[in-house]
Structure 1
């Protein structure tokens, strides 16, 4: 096994094939399973199967086998990707994005939560056609992805509505710097069919600290209210919920 499995899995594999502990591990079950990456065939699954025991109930014979499951792992990975990804833009879909953001919030990992949509998107579809509208969404999603860090969550909620969660950024000055950088990149989007017409977005945001008892739904409602006010201003614009007159001044 020292030559058959990769270094990353060596310690767990050697622990699994340790015969001195096998009797205890198979005491209340007929089979135990472990998966690892092999040096030759990729993902493998090793298994011990109890065959029989002696008169005192101790293991007498066991079967050890290894099967290659690399193709199965690739299918599982592909299915997981398809289940979590928005098919048009390639970013998180609503289900996976909401789940990942909720995990951050449950771990008290505060940050910046943004909600945005494309201004006059229906007019773009009506004027230039749905194919151009789709291109707008794809390019906008790509800009959002580039503007964010590797561990940030970027998701399409549906239609022309997107959301982002940037953990570890609960500071207003940092948020405003991010908005500026994001809008600069959005302003560079160029779609030939739109003949120079710019894409503008309205953005609403909410900040939460590690101490806040925030949930996805409460932050979404705050962002939605902020985005509604942002739409009243022409051009790329962002409003943070705490800056609204009706914003609550008490912790979440």
Structure 2
């Protein structure tokens, strides 16, 4: 039913455009000059076609691009604009069909574009005819008038689109309407005003060299903008996928792949690094006693505690299921040991709030740590230092859990909670 109402709405706009064209046919100046102007507009509009930017709002696709309909309607009249839009939109529809880039509803969208642009352009045409006697002869007043015409078409365009979005349910509240209207750019309106105003002046002077030059200049600027926008989008996509590839979805920390990549960079620095491997004690028991959702909350809590103790230049990653690895930079062995021991005590003191069977549970847990202090004098790669830290973690587990086992060269220390 929604689609039926939408089609009735769009076809009503198109029918109004047809009636406008019929009623203004007698004023259409069917001379070679008029068709030459329309031919130039058709040519460059079709060249610009691939530069149009598509934006989606809900289930609707909106095309944005440079529009010259105001200057055209002021020169050829409403019937000329209808003829231009009908041919242009039909050509665009056939192009998309041929290249198989058309979307569902592309045909009805062409009717909408013809109807809406002709109505907008006709409104601008009659406002121009009405106000021209007061603005004529003053260059500043002329540009203000052109901007006013662009504002009129922009308001009508937004109203027509709001009708579409309302029928589709993509806009439901005043807040939605306000957000949509705020998307209108004054800078874009100024650019459209300048292009259409300058084209109108050049058309009145029959300055074809300047007219074609303006179209070519706008084409080059639009092409350059599109290339830059595509480069920016590609970079954004690469950054997003890289972030996804190197980020643990549950904790938001780096994952093991990122850790292994950065370990190679850290090794080149030949700086002293405290390598910490940490693991939640008896994590399987937590999952078995409650459920995996509660287990995830415990992992997130532990990750947050580790992150809070880390500095911006440290490397922190989730290296396994309930296992995490820290590379503490710019600290002495004693400082690293004190930091890890404080972490162990903090985890032991804290509890995790989690929902289980419609109740809020406060879950206590502990963690074990292995710390290996990797110095610049080490003859082994940093990957080996990570293995040493993992072995020290295993010792903490074997000796009762909830403790820190640390090593730096010949020094070895096992810290455990007091009895």
**TM-score (ref. length: structure 1):** 0.65
Q: 1:125 is matched with which residue?
A: 287
Does residue 344 of structure 2 align to residue 183 of structure 1? yes
Shift in Å at residue 159 of structure 1? Answer: 1.0
Match of 1:12 in 2: none
- Is residue 161 of structure 1 aligned with residue 315 of structure 2? no
Alignment pair present for 1:115 and 2:115? no
Which among 90, 93, 104 is matched to residue 255 of structure 2? 93
1:200 equivalenced with 2:388 (yes/no): no
Conserved? CA contact 1:110–1:168, under 8 Å: yes
Change (3 A) 1:196 1:189: closer
Q: Which has the higher contact order (CA 8 A, sep 6+)?
A: 1
Q: Between Structure 1 and Structure 2, whose CA radius of gyration is higher?
A: 2
Please report how far the alpha carbon of residue 70 of structure 1 lies from its aligned counterpart in structure 2 after TM superposition: 2.2
Which shifted more, 175-184 or 108-117?
A: 175-184
Q: Is the 8 A contact 2:328 2:336 kept in 1?
A: no
TM-superposition CA deviations, 1:136-169 (whole Å, max 9, x none): 1111111111110011111111211110001222
Aligned-pair RMSD on alpha carbons?
Answer: 2.5
Q: Is the 8 A contact 2:263 2:382 kept in 1?
A: yes
Corresponding residue SS for 1:191: strand
The number of aligned residues is 183
Indicate conservation of the 8 Å contact 2:344/2:368, yes or no. no
Aligned to 1:221: 387
Q: Counterparts of 2:304 and 2:320 in 1: how far apart (Å)?
A: 16
User: What's the secondary structure of 2:327's corresponding residue?
Assistant: strand
Distance in 2 of aligned mates of 1:135 and 1:211: 40
Alignment-derived partner of residue 180 in structure 2? none
Using the alignment, how far apart are the partners of 2:326 and 2:351 within structure 1?
A: 19
Compare 122-131 and 64-73 and name the one that shifted more.
Answer: 64-73
Q: Give the 3-state SS of the residue equivalent to 1:239 in structure 2.
A: strand
Question: Partners in 2 of 1:98 and 1:185 — Cα distance?
Answer: 28
The 5 A counterparts of 1:46-125 are 66=224, 67-68=227-228, 69-125=231-287
For residue 195 of structure 1, report the CA deviation from its aligned partner.
4.0
Task: Give the deviation of 1:240 after TM superposition.
Answer: 0.6
The one of 308, 333, 345 equivalent to 1:172 is 333
Extract unaligned runs of 5+ from structure 2.
Answer: 1-186, 188-219, 414-419
Structure with more strand by fraction: 1
Unaligned runs of 5+ in 1: 1-39, 41-62, 246-252
**Length-normalised TM-score, structure 2:** 0.40
Structure 1 or 2: more helix by fraction? 2
